[in-house]
């Protein structure tokens, strides 16, 4: 927490962990950079917020959305998924 976005994603890549973030725009940009450089990452899940507690995803909804993604796709490697689209 508090480290630069690129450093946080570096930790996830080194530990082969899928990254979950509410900082969608920045991590989609980092994904694009990695792909353009022919690099790899374990996957990125983003959660977008409207700053509306009635509409923003709760932790349980995020978990359900991750499960929905994993039941449909063979691998999340090198992809970005906006979990809001997978409720």
pTM of this structure: 0.92
The C-alpha atoms of residue 54 and residue 29 are separated, in whole angstroms, by 28
Number of domains forming the structure of the chain: 1
Residues 6+ apart with CB under 8 A from 66: 20, 45, 83, 86
Phi first, then psi: give them for residue 71, nearest 5 degrees.
-80, -15
Which structural domain, as residue segments, surrounds residue 54?
Answer: 5-86
Q: Across all residues in the chain, what is the average pLDDT? A: 95
pLDDT at 2: 77
The C-alpha atoms of residue 1 and residue 13 are separated, in whole angstroms, by 16
pLDDT-above-70 percentage for the chain: 99
Angle between helices 5-14 and 24-36 (to 10 degrees): 60
Instruction: Give per-residue pLDDT as tens, 24-57.
Output: 999 999 999 999 999 999 999 999 998 888 889 9
> Quick one: pLDDT band at residue 1, thresholds 50, 70, 90?
low
């Amino acid at each position: 927490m508090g480290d630069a976005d690129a450093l946080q994603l570096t930790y996830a890549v080194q530990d082969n962990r899928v990254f979950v973030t509410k900082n969608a725009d920045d991590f989609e940009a980092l994904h694009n950079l990695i792909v353009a450089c022919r690099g790899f990452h374990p996957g990125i899940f983003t959660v977008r917020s409207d700053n509306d507690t009635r509409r923003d995803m709760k932790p349980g909804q995020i978990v359900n959305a991750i499960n929905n993604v994993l039941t449909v796709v063979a691998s999340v490697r090198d992809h970005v998924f906006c979990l809001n689209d997978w409720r």
